[in-house]
């Protein structure tokens, strides 16, 4: 059920292609957030009692509702984010649908959520039967960005629900319509009242949500700067967080790569969603023997891209989301050119004006440039020829970010070996970005790219807290380490260690005989 946000103010949904206001949504007053949390807690107390397979059934219904409304959802994504229709379908709707499909499988879910036996190796605790139980946190806050306004939040809401939690979703203030639609989809699936509530608003609403008593965990996806604030806030309240932050993904093209295919991958990886993807290819390290041909192909293919509104069927690259993002790209390019970079394609605002920016290819770059150090989050590919694979790895790892990377080679073994040397949460050999769309693949970063994982079995685990339970079969026996200490007990304790760990087995048996009587003597407290 969507919260009936009692509005003091409105959020404007703006079409980034035209700057027009296309819808208005009531923002949730900060003062109302504690009430939302309370309602979520009430709903969760029932929801957690359902069997995992029953919760999975709701996820299946959510998938069906999304499937039926997919055209409308894709249309709203295109209008609100500006991305081409094909991308709204492939990157948002398909990923969300497949995630729902994945988490709705009752057998898989039952296997993941059932308690796990914990066999004990130590003789001292052999009488205990140990188990790990997986329990929901309660109310989870999910704070989302605008760039994949369906795929990102759904990839987190679904496992949160499956684990038995309630969710308060705060979509980006740039995509309130997509956020509202997610609420409607949950309604349509018949989820209990209050279980999923959409809290609309900007940063102040996100900040208030993180600070509200009763929010037991925070999943934040967004920029490094905001992620840092969220982490600080969570630390103050001692609640755990998952941070999915920015990236500066490198693509390593080796001399034996399929250059024709790799160049298409670079162009798509750099310019899909107008370069506004956390896993966008931003840095290209290309072995010198193929660098010239690769660069020529990238420049030629970039020149063939059609820049236009996402609503026009043949647009390849839509607008950027807001003027400030365009300005950041311009600033990085200015700095790079001042330090010796050469622009081979694009490099300026597109003739149609507004937030449209020409897909840009740059070379003669180095790591003193902001363009190579900071996330660009715009349509810019920076190509850096390198002497060999070792140099490519060294430069790729010379970054505070560690989200994704790719290696291009016809030699699968070498590709895998290089993948293991890269400092990233995911490395694709001969593909870019696709790991985000694979339900079984854990998604998340290292370093400034954040911590924790979403998607996959690990993404579900993030939504669960572990409880260890053991039951001692020797209920009538006092433990040897309890009170009633004496010099004799210290000797016996040491003999017990000899029994467990002495290298010579004869000595171990001898010591055991001497120790057991003292350890289990009846006159203990
Ligand atoms: P952002 O940090 O500006 O905003 C993200 C969300 O945080 C929004 O909902 C915003 O309203 C909210 N927010 C703002 N201030 C807040 C505060 N003080 N406390 C709590 N919430 C607050 O990011 P953005 O511009 O929406 O998204 C772009 C960034 O997201 C890029 O850096 C991109 O790489 C990253 N991103 C990462 C992933 C990933 O999976 N790693 C996926 C998508 C986007």
Parallel, antiparallel, or unpaired for β 139-143 and 215-221? Answer: parallel
Average pLDDT over residues 386-403: 98
How confident is the model at residue 513, as a pLDDT? 81
Q: Looking at residue 319, what DSSP letter applies? A: -
Strand partners, 21: 14
Q: What is the pLDDT of residues 222-279, one digit of tens each?
A: 999 999 999 999 999 999 999 999 999 999 999 999 999 999 999 999 999 999 999 9
In angstroms, the CA 161 to CA 47 distance is 9
Q: Give the angle 52-56-60 at the CA atoms, nearest 5°.
A: 175
CB neighbour class for 102 (10 Å; exposed up to 12, middle 13-18, buried from 19): buried
How confident is the model at residue 491, as a pLDDT? 92
- Quickly state the pLDDT bin for 519 (edges 50, 70, 90): confident
Ligand 1 atom with least separation from CA of 201: 11
Average pLDDT over residues 457-472: 98
A 10 A CB-CB count for 230 gives 22
Average pLDDT over residues 22-31: 97
Ligand 1 atom with least separation from CA of 173: 11
- Take atom 42 of ligand 1 and give the residue whose Cα is closest: 278
Residue 278 annotated in active site: yes
Q: What is the pLDDT of residues 31-50, one digit of tens each?
A: 999 999 999 999 999 999 99
Question: CB under 6 Å to ligand 1: residues?
Answer: 143-148, 152, 170, 172-173, 202-203, 206-207, 210, 221-223, 226, 229-230, 244-247, 278, 375, 377, 403, 445
Parallel, antiparallel, or unpaired for β 10-14 and 21-26? Answer: antiparallel
User: Mean pLDDT in the chain?
Assistant: 96
- Say how many Å lie between the CA of residue 172 and the centre of ligand 1: 8
Q: What is the pLDDT of residues 342-378, one digit of tens each?
A: 999 999 999 999 999 999 999 999 999 999 999 999 9
Q: What is the pLDDT of residues 400-452, one digit of tens each?
A: 999 999 999 999 999 999 999 999 999 999 999 999 999 999 999 999 999 99
Q: Is the dihedral of CA 424, 430, 432, 433 positive or negative?
A: negative
């Amino acid at each position: 059920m969507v919260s009936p946000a009692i509005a003091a103010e409105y959020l404007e949904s703006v079409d980034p292609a035209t700057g027009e206001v296309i819808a208005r949504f009531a923002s949730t007053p900060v003062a109302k957030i504690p009430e939302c949390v309370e309602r979520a807690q009430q709903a969760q107390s029932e929801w957690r009692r359902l069997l995992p397979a029953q919760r999975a059934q709701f996820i299946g219904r959510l998938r069906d509702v999304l499937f039926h409304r997919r055209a409308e959802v894709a249309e709203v994504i295109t209008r609100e984010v500006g991305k081409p229709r094909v991308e709204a379908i492939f990157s948002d709707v398909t990923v969300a649908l497949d995630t729902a499909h994945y988490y709705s499988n009752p057998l898989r879910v039952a296997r993941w959520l059932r308690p796990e036996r914990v066999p004990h190796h130590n003789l001292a605790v052999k009488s205990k039967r140990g188990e790990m139980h997986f329990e929901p946190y309660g109310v989870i806050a999910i704070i989302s960005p605008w760039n994949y306004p369906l795929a990102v939040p759904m990839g987190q809401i679904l496992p949160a629900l499956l684990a038995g939690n309630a969710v308060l979703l705060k979509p980006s203030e740039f995509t309130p319509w997509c956020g509202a639609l997610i609420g409607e989809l949950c309604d349509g699936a018949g989820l209990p009242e209050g279980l999923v509530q959409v809290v609309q608003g900007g940063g102040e609403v996100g900040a208030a949500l993180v600070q509200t008593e009763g929010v037991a965990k925070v999943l934040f996806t967004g920029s490094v700067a905001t992620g840092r604030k969220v982490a600080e806030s969570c630390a103050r309240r001692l609640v755990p967080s998952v941070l999915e932050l920015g990236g500066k993904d490198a693509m390593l093209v080796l001399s034996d790569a399929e250059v024709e295919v790799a160049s298409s991958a670079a162009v798509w990886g750099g310019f899909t969603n107008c370069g506004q993807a956390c896993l966008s290819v931003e840095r290209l390290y290309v072995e010198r023997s193929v660098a010239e041909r690769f660069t020529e192909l990238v420049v030629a293919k970039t020149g063939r891209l059609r820049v236009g509104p996402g609503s026009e069927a043949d647009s390849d690259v839509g607008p950027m989301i807001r003027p400030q993002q365009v300005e950041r790209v311009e600033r990085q390019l200015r700095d790079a050119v001042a330090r010796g970079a050469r622009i081979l394609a694009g490099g300026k605002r597109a003739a149609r004006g507004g937030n449209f920016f020409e897909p840009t290819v740059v070379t003669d770059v180095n790591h003193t440039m902001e363009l190579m150090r900071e996330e660009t989050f715009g349509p810019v590919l920076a190509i850096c020829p390198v002497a060999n694979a070792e140099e490519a790895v060294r430069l790729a790892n010379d970054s505070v970010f560690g989200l994704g990377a790719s290696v291009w080679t016809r030699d699968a073994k070498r590709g895998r070996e290089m993948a293991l040397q890269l400092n990233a949460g995911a490395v694709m050999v001969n593909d870019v970005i696709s790991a985000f769309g694979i339900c079984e693949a854990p998604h998340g970063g290292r370093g400034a790219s954040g911590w924790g994982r979403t998607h996959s079995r690990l993404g579900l685990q993030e939504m669960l807290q572990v409880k260890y339970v053991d039951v001692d079969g020797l209920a009538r026996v006092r433990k040897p380490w309890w009170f009633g200490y004496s010099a004799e007990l210290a000797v016996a304790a040491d003999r017990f260690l000899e029994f467990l760990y002495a290298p010579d087995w004869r000595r171990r048996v001898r010591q055991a005989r001497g120790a057991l009587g003292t350890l289990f003597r009846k006159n203990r407290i």
